[in-house]
């Protein structure tokens, strides 16, 4: 079984990847179990491939700070 993953950010396609799952590992699964297995594999891929970093670049001005 081959699965194509399209990763997009803001509507822009950023990456395309393919996952391969051996048929013998999934041929006995029901359709629902198969979909769950695919989702688990995609989430594992995402955990390995996607990183998000952030920082606060401007703090909010609080009313008590404006008075002084």
Q: What is the pLDDT of residues 16-31, one digit of tens each?
A: 999 999 999 999 999 9
Q: What distance in Å separates the CA atoms of residue 57 and residue 46, rounded to the nearest whole number?
A: 27
The reported pLDDT for the residue numbered 67 is 65
pLDDT band at 37 (very low <50, low <70, confident <90, very high): very high
pTM: 0.72
> Domain coordinates of the chain in residue numbers?
2-49
pLDDT at 66 over 80: no
DSSP letter string, 10-24? TTEEEEEEEEE--HH
């Amino acid at each position: 079984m081959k699965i194509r993953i399209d990763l997009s950010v803001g509507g822009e396609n950023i990456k395309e990847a393919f996952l391969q799952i051996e048929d013998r590992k999934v041929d006995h699964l029901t359709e629902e179990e198969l979909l769950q297995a695919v989702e688990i594999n995609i989430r594992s891929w995402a955990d390995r491939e996607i990183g998000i970093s952030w920082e606060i670049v401007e703090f909010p001005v609080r009313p008590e700070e404006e008075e002084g």
